Amino acid sequence: MLQVPLLRALTLARAAGASICCTPQRTFGILARTTIRHQVEAPTVATFNLFSLSTIRTFKDVDVLSKRCKDCYFKKMDDRWYTLCKTHGRHKQRQRLPDHRHFWIVTHRTRGPRKNF
Provide the pLDDT for residue 42. 52
For the chain, the distance separating the N- and C-terminal CA atoms, rounded to the nearest angstrom, is: 98
Predicted structure pTM score: 0.43
Residue 24 has pLDDT above 70, yes or no: no
Provide the pLDDT for residue 39. 54
Residue 18 has pLDDT above 80, yes or no: no
Provide the pLDDT for residue 11. 72
The DSSP string of 1-55 is --HHHHHHHHHHHHHHT---SS-TTT--SHHHHHHHHHHHHHHHHHSPPGGGSPP
Give the span between the Cα atoms of 14 and 47, in whole angstroms: 26
pLDDT band at 68; cut points 50, 70, 90: very high
Give me the mean pLDDT over the 47-55 stretch: 64
Longest dimension (CA), the chain: 98
Provide the pLDDT for residue 100. 87
Give the span between the Cα atoms of 104 and 84, in whole angstroms: 33
Provide the pLDDT for residue 116. 79
Phi, psi of 76 (to 5 degrees): -105, 125
Span of 8-22, 65-79, 94-108 with lowest mean pLDDT: 8-22
DSSP reduced 3-state for 63: coil
Phi, psi of 95 (to 5 degrees): -70, 130
Provide the pLDDT for residue 71. 96
